Amino acid sequence: MSQPKPILYYDDRSPPVRSCLMLIKLLDIDVELRFVDLFKGEQFQKDFLAINPQHSVPTLVHDDLVLTDSHAILIHLAEKFDEGGSLWPKEYVPRMKVLNLLLFECSFLFRRDSDFMSAIVRQGFAHVDVAHHERKLTEAYGIMEGYLEKSNYMAGEQLTLADFSLVTTLSTVNLMFPLTRFPRLQHWFTAMQQLDAYEANCSGLEKLRQTMEAIGNFQFPSSSSSSSVGEVGP
Ligand SMILES: N[C@@H](CCC(=O)N[C@@H](CS)C(=O)NCC(=O)O)C(=O)O
């Protein structure tokens, strides 16, 4: 029996949304996309709050499931549409490594990125302690560099959900803070940018850049995601 199409509520300026969009593109999943404009506060509309009281995107509705976190959405989509694939490994230890990195993205990298972006929105760039956020975010760069000392991809020798989750947030942080002191991370980022699926990150990232610059009254030092392609190598 054919299953109903998943519905993804999204605003592609959001890094967690863009991870889901990359996976959807990679696996060529037929998804209905419904835009929720975060910068107009549409996440607080009654109809959306009834679906996701956390008022956040991405939100996925599929069959009886309502998933309100990108990491859960990535796992669900891989379980359903990448059976037998290695994005979400079947074996216990590799799967736990992927889960660990998904949680690192959620609780560490994304949180710090979100703190920085929220500070710009709330205070305007001129009033943000950029050096503080740079310390926090380059610490995250250093941790990822450490993972890449052990393997070519974030959670092992294969491309997994962890790479999709991390790259969209990393590309967002990289609008501001360069990767120059982190050669392995630069190399991995360049490899990720060369995947066809990476295209699904580009327009949302560019839209975020423009939105942030308009709201925060400043310009990021790097112009867009594409600026990093090919400029680095270990
Ligand atoms: N851990 C969540 C974070 C989701 C999240 O914070 N989304 C932000 C956009 S990046 C959002 O929807 N914010 C609107 C709000 O909280 O009102 C995930 O990975 O999906």
* pLDDT tens per residue, range 195-213: 999 999 999 999 999 999 9
pLDDT tens, 126-178? 999 999 999 999 999 999 999 999 999 999 999 999 999 999 999 999 999 99
Instruction: Indicate which residue's Cα is closest to atom 15 of ligand 1.
Output: 56
Q: Domains in the chain and their CATH numbers?
A: 7-81 (3.40.30.10), 92-216 (1.20.1050.10)
Instruction: Indicate which residue's Cα is closest to atom 19 of ligand 1.
Output: 70
Measured in Å, residue 42 CA sits from the centre of ligand 1 at 13
221 prior amide bond cis, ω within 30: no
pTM of the model: 0.95
Measured in Å, residue 85 CA sits from the centre of ligand 1 at 28
Whether the per-residue pLDDT at 101 is higher than 70: the answer is yes
Contact 191, 163 (CB under 8 A): no
Q: What is the DSSP string of 66-111?
A: EE-SHHHHHHHHHHHH-TT-SSS-SSHHHHHHHHHHHHHIIIIIHH
Report pLDDT for 68: 98
Atom of ligand 1 nearest to the CA of 57: 12
Percent of the residues in the chain that have a pLDDT greater than 90, as a whole number: 92
